[in-house]
Structure formats: C-alpha cells, structure tokens
C-alpha cells in the first residue's frame, strides 16, 4: 500500500463562465466538483495505475463529507482521513469559455486543533507501519506546526519506508533537513529553497540540504533529477498544450509507482514525464489521458546530465 | 404565519480577496456562508422584525444541508423546504479589499424532477392554508415550468391569502396575469415586462397586466407605488452608501410586514424604504442595521404622486 498525506485536502470546484469580468455578475454554465489537494490527486493517479493507495490527512464539515463520499467511489483507494471540526476548504477554478484561461480562488482551510493534530500523528504512525512508500504533499492548514513535515519524514525513515516530500516554503526547508528520500520541487520552489535560479546548481544544493534525490519539475522542459545513482533530464517529445492543473501531482505518482516497481531512475522519470504530459493533455483538469500516456511513454527523451556546474 | 417561497434557494458564500485579477491565483483571506435566495432573505428580515415565518422551496445535497442547518438557528423561522436529489446551488460573491467592489458567480441550481415539483405543490397548498400572506421570490430552477408562479398565485388567491410576487422575465409576465396582490419589480424588470423605461407609465402598465398593486424599486430614488388606494413615492433621506445586496428583499419584507399590520400604504412604503436603506448600510451583505432602520424610519419622505402620465 502507498500512503499519501494531504493535510490541506480540498473540494475542487470548476466553474465554466463565458468570460470573467471583475465587478460584474456571472451565470455559471457548468459546475464540476472533485476531491482535491495534492496528495489526493497523487492517490487518484496511483489508483488508476493499479496500485493500492491509502489517503490520510484531514476532512471536516459538509465539504469534507462530499470529499469522502467521492473518494469512496474510487477503486483501489482507501479513505483514512482524520475527522476535524472545521470544514474542508473549497478551491474554485473559474474557466473562461472565450480564452480557456482559468482564475483560481483558494480558501485557506480549517484551523486544526492540537488534539486533532495529535489524532493525526497517531493515525499516521499506524498507517506508515503498513506502507511500502509515503508521499507528503501540499501546504499546511492553519494550526499545523511549520515543522510538521520534518516530523512525518522522520517517522517514515524510522519505519524504513521510502518518503517523498512535495511542498514549498518553510515547510519544505524544514522537511528537507529531515532527509526525505525524494523531493519534487518546481523551479520557483527550488529557487525559494536554495536562492539559486540555475536549475542544476539549485538541484545539487537541495541535495546538500538533506534530500537523498531531488527531482525538479521544469514545466515544459520536463524533469531534472539529481540522485545518488546519477543525474538525468527527461523531457516530453514536444511542447504539450492544455491545462497544467495536477501535472506535478501526476509526476509524483509516476515517481512513486516506479520506485515501488524498482525501476531504474531513467524509467521512473519517463513514467513521471509521460503521466504529467498526459495530464496536461486531458480534457478534464487533473485527470490523465490514458491513451496519451501510453503513446507518450515510449517517446520521452531521457539523457544523462554531465554538466560540471 | 407568513410563507415565503424560494424555488431556487442558495448557499451564499462571500470571499474576501485583496484584488480579483482574471487568470491568476488568489488566496481567500475570509470566507462567510449563509442561506440565500430571495425568499430566504425576506424570511430572515421578517423573523428579525418579530414575525413568525415559514420558508418553503427546495433544498438538496451537502449545500442544502448547510442551508437547513443554518435556518434552524434563526428564531421565529420554520423550515418547510422540500428535499430534492440535486444539490442546492452556491453563489459566490468575491469582495475586493482594495476597491470594495464585488464580483458575483451564480451556479444554475439543480434540475427539479416532475415528482419533486409535485411534492412541492402539495406542500405549498397545505402551507398556504395556514398563512396570513405569501411571498413568491426569485428565479426558477431548471425543470420547474415557466408558468409556475401563475399557478402558485392562483392557489393563494383561491385560499384568500394575499400574495406578493418578486421575480423577473417570463415567470413574472405569466405570474402577473394570474393577478397577484403586489409585485415589486426593479426598473429593469419593469422595463422588460412593459417595454417602457418611464417608471410611472411602466408601473401603471404593470397594473393593467393584472397586478393589484405595483411597487417599483428605483434604486437610490426609493419606491414608486401604484395601488387601488392611490399612488406614492417614498425615498430615503439621502443617498445611502454601502452594499445593495438584499436591499430589494428587505423592501419586500417591509411591504409584507406592513400589510399584516394593516398599515396604510404610506407607512408600508416608509418601512420598506427604511429597511432597504438599512440593509445597504449594514456591514454584512444582506443583513439590515437595526439602529439605522429605526433612525431612518422617521425620515423617509413619502409623497402622493399626481402626474397625469
């Protein structure tokens, strides 16, 4: 079982409008809802790839009930979310029909009480004991200590379970110091962590800060991986058009899936890049297009990286 | 008991953001939720004025549960909403901190099945029998016949219960023909109904179409009433600054409250204008400021209208 942790789960809502005009009124022509938060997205892709996956984190209120209800319908996915008094946040993506562009509104999420955080830590420790890998994903809700991920990384390492961390800012800085097996920052997160905007230099620096392997996602340029086994770049065959929502989460799912199958790094990276590109191409935000994934998988270019930088 | 009907109830959500910028991402700094839809707003004001009020219409899904839960906490208000399979719609008001302006996103509402509409009609007939007045408010959700309000007006008239209709477009056109006691269109709704942009002419025309009394809301200019008992204009003492959300619903509550107390028309209109202005002035969208209401009540100017137009 792969365990994914989403401390700030969400009900992701997508609205279609003709064209968003500030300070006016809009009729929404179409409403779509699905469970969200980075670790939930990772879990859905893993389940679609045929893995057994367990989701933990927090859920509460009417929005939390909708999230749990929808998760219960996903084959291969087990809901181990911890109930909280506050309501799970909503995110609203407003998609313009005219331009295809999207405007995002993200609620902050419920405050987590100390007793709720304690209940989560107990649950997490139990779940890690039965996991073959752990992914720690996304932002921290109010009330969760900023060093939370560092503690969760240490618990996984004590249990000898490989742990991937995908977050940003101070929670990433502190989490890296606890020596996770993999981190997957994007270019901005990497620059914020290291102070360097040069991807290879920044990726190497992130390793020195504690991450065993660093897989940097560089948007259309694909992935740059610096690992104890070597360095690689993996890129999709051509620029992929579409909606990048969830592309990073699909890359995380590809890395975990490849890790569990003990694939060599180049194959793990190819899988991550193909899943990510197939997510951008999908008509539904955050879902991957399986046909595109299978077609892209053999066409991802993976090359060794030998720069002296 | 006053009965208010809201066929398209809503969960009204207000987001505070620094400044809404299309095609970018926003952190919402504050989230507020309350039950909405015009008849629900009218009912809340009536309850605050000390009237016993019953709310009917439809509610469903997780959003409907939140609406019902919140309504149950309002003293003097009875929930007689009819359950439906679809989810109650959300409306999102995005308030800019920088400008104070608001951007509105309105979901369409759930489709109503024929059996659900039939269940509502049965419930409505029962409730009307015990009501001293009925208000029919707002838009029709998908699946409800466009002539719905005409039938609901006839049911109330058969039971000899005074009925106020506050809607727009074709539902208003058809509803007026069934001879409601009062309609309360705004200037745009009145122009759409009659084809005239001249308020007095349009108000008189709306009476000829079947409404016993027409109270037109003319924004900052207040109300224009054309009734069998006479014609009046009622205006607030000065232009009122603030958020106009719910001002029209507060005017409806004022008219109904005055009708039940058998106040003469000038006093009903003064109450409606003062409540409306006190709603614009309130810090919370859709609530009225009671101190402002009491202060404004004596200062509304009501004058007879004797134009030959």
Phi/psi for B105 (5° steps) reads: -125, 115
Residues of B serving a catalytic function are 249
Q: What is the pLDDT of residue B105?
A: 96
Residue range(s) occupied by CATH 3.40.1190.20 in chain A: 1-20+29-144
pLDDT tens per residue across span B12-33: 999 999 999 999 999 999 999 9
Q: Is B27 on the interface with A (CB under 8 A)?
A: yes
Q: Is B92 on the interface with A (CB under 8 A)?
A: yes
Q: Taking 70 as the threshold, does the pLDDT of residue A112 lie above it?
A: yes
Cβ neighbours, 10 Å, residue A21: 13
Q: Give the CA count within 13 Å in the CB-facing half-sphere of B263.
A: 16
Q: Which chain A residue is nearest to residue B20, measuring alpha carbons? A: A22
Cβ neighbours, 10 Å, residue B274: 26
- Please compute the mean of the pLDDT values over residues A71-81 and round it to a whole number: 97
- Inter-chain touch B17–A105, beta carbons under 8 Å: yes
Cβ neighbours, 10 Å, residue A197: 11
Map tokens 């439906």 to a residue: B84
Q: Is A98 on the interface with B (CB under 8 A)?
A: no
Rounded to 5°, angle at Cα A109 from A108 and A112: 130
| % of chain B at pLDDT higher than 90 | 89
Tokens encoding B98:
């920088």
Q: Tell me the C-alpha to C-alpha distance, in Å, between residue B82 and each of A210, B57, B124.
A: 58, 6, 10
Tokens encoding A309:
């930088």
| % of chain B at pLDDT higher than 70 | 98
Instruction: Report the residue of B105, B107, B169 to disrupt the A interface, i.e. the one with the largest count of A CBs within 10 Å.
Output: B105
CB-count exposure of residue B308 (10 Å: 0-12, 13-18, 19+): exposed
pLDDT tens per residue across span A212-254: 999 999 988 899 999 999 999 999 988 777 778 889 999 999 9
- Inter-chain touch B107–A31, beta carbons under 8 Å: yes
B245 versus B226: the higher-pLDDT residue is: B226
Q: Which residues of chain A have a CB within 8 Å of the CB of B62?
A: 62-63, 65-66
B241 versus B179: the higher-pLDDT residue is: B179
Q: What is the pLDDT of residue A308?
A: 45
Q: Taking 60 as the threshold, does the pLDDT of residue B307 lie above it?
A: no
pLDDT tens per residue across span B255-301: 999 999 999 999 999 999 999 999 988 877 778 999 999 999 999 99
Confidence of residue A282 (pLDDT cuts 50, 70, 90): confident
Q: Is A32 on the interface with B (CB under 8 A)?
A: no
Residue range(s) occupied by CATH 3.40.1190.20 in chain B: 1-20+28-144
Q: Taking 90 as the threshold, does the pLDDT of residue A202 lie above it?
A: yes
Q: Which residues of A218-230 are buried (b: 16+ CB within 10 A; e: fewer)?
A: eeeebbbbbbeee
Chain A, chain B: beta-carbon pairs less than 8 Å apart: 80
CA distance B29 to chain A (A): 7
Q: Which residues of B140-178 are buried (b: 16+ CB within 10 A; e: fewer)?
A: bbebbeebbbbebbebbbeeebbbbbbbbeebbbbbbeb
- Mean pLDDT for all residues in chain A: 94
CA distance A51 to chain B (A): 30
Q: Is B24 on the interface with A (CB under 8 A)?
A: yes
Pairing of strands B2-6, B10-17: unpaired
Q: Taking 50 as the threshold, does the pLDDT of residue B308 lie above it?
A: no
Confidence of residue A284 (pLDDT cuts 50, 70, 90): confident
| % of chain A at pLDDT higher than 70 | 98
Tokens encoding A15:
């609205």
Closest CB to B106 among A28, A94, A101: A28
Q: What is the pLDDT of residue B129?
A: 97
Q: What is the pLDDT of residue A240?
A: 76
- Inter-chain touch A22–B101, beta carbons under 8 Å: yes
Lowest mean pLDDT among A8-17, A239-248, B50-59, B200-209: A239-248
Q: Is B262 on the interface with A (CB under 8 A)?
A: no
Q: Is B22 on the interface with A (CB under 8 A)?
A: yes
What's B186's DSSP letter?
A: B
Tokens encoding B217:
């809301």
Q: Taking 50 as the threshold, does the pLDDT of residue A309 lie above it?
A: no
Q: Taking 60 as the threshold, does the pLDDT of residue A183 lie above it?
A: yes
Q: Is B31 on the interface with A (CB under 8 A)?
A: yes
Q: What is the CATH number of domain B1-20+28-144?
A: 3.40.1190.20
Q: Which chain A residue is nearest to residue B19, measuring alpha carbons? A: A22
CA distance A93 to chain B (A): 9
Tokens encoding B278:
């006190």
**Mutual orientation of helices B169-177 and B148-158 as an angle, nearest 10°?**
30
- Inter-chain touch A23–B103, beta carbons under 8 Å: yes
Architecture of domain A1-20+29-144: 3-Layer(aba) Sandwich (3.40)
Q: What is the pLDDT of residue A306?
A: 63
- Inter-chain touch B92–A96, beta carbons under 8 Å: no
Q: Is A27 on the interface with B (CB under 8 A)?
A: yes
Q: Which residues of chain A have a CB within 8 Å of the CB of B22?
A: 20-22, 96, 101, 103
Q: A61 CB contacts (<8 Å, ≥6 apart)? A: A86, A87, A88, A110
Q: Is B96 on the interface with A (CB under 8 A)?
A: yes
Q: Is A105 on the interface with B (CB under 8 A)?
A: yes
Map tokens 């793990």 to a residue: A268
Q: Tell me the C-alpha to C-alpha distance, in Å, between residue B309 and each of A166, B200, B235, B265.
A: 71, 7, 20, 21
Lowest mean pLDDT among A162-166, A232-236, A304-308, B44-48: A304-308
CA distance B172 to chain A (A): 19
Tokens encoding A256:
């975990």
Q: Taking 50 as the threshold, does the pLDDT of residue B309 lie above it?
A: no
Closest CB to A105 among B15, B96, B99: B15
Q: Taking 50 as the threshold, does the pLDDT of residue A292 lie above it?
A: yes
- Inter-chain touch A108–B66, beta carbons under 8 Å: no
Q: What is the pLDDT of residue A281?
A: 87
Alpha carbon distance B124, A305 (integer Å): 73
- Please compute the mean of the pLDDT values over residues B221-247 and round it to a whole number: 89
- Inter-chain touch A63–B65, beta carbons under 8 Å: no
pLDDT tens per residue across span A141-158: 999 999 999 999 999 999
pLDDT tens per residue across span B129-139: 999 999 999 99
Q: Which residues of chain B have a CB within 8 Å of the CB of A20?
A: 22-23, 103
Q: In chain B, where do the E strands start and end?
A: 2-6, 10-17, 25-27, 30-36, 53-59, 77-79, 82-83, 89-96, 102-106, 133-137, 163-166, 182-183, 213-217, 223-227, 230-235, 301-304
Closest CB to B22 among A29, A103, A108: A103
Q: Taking 60 as the threshold, does the pLDDT of residue B173 lie above it?
A: yes
Tokens encoding A52:
């057994």
């Amino acid at each position: 079982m792969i365990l994914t942790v989403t401390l700030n789960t969400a009900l992701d809502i997508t609205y279609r409008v003709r064209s968003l005009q500030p300070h006016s009124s809009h009729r929404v022509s179409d409403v779509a809802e699905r469970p969200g938060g980075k670790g939930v997205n990772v879990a859905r892709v893993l389940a679609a790839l045929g893995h057994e996956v367990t989701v933990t984190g927090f859920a509460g209120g009417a929005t939390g009930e909708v999230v749990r209800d929808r998760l219960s319908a996903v084959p291969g996915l087990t809901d181990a979310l911890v109930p909280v008094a506050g309501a799970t946040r909503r995110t609203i993506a407003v998609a313009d029909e005219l331009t295809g562009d999207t405007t995002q509104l993200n609620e902050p999420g419920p405050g987590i009480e100390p007793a709720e955080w304690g209940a989560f830590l107990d649950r997490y420790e139990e779940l890690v004991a039965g996991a073959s890998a752990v992914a720690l994903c996304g932002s921290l809700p109010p009330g969760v200590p900023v060093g939370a991920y560092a503690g969760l990384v240490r618990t996984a390492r004590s249990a000898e379970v490989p742990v991937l961390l995908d977050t940003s800012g101070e929670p990433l800085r502190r989490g890296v110091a606890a020596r996770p097996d993999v981190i997957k920052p994007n270019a901005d997160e990497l620059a914020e962590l290291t102070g360097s905007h040069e991807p290879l230099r920044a990726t190497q620096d992130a390793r020195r800060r504690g991450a065993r392997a660093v897989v940097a996602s560089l948007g259309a340029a694909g992935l740059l991986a610096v690992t104890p086994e070597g360095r690689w770049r993996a890129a999709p065959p051509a620029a992929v058009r579409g909606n990048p929502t969830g592309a990073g989460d699909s890359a995380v799912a590809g890395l975990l899936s490849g890790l569990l199958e003990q694939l060599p790094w180049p194959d793990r990276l190819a899988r991550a890049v193909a899943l990510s590109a197939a997510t951008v191409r999908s008509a539904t935000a955050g879902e991957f297009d399986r046909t595109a994934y299978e077609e892209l998988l053999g066409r991802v270019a993976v090359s060794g990286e030998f720069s002296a930088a």
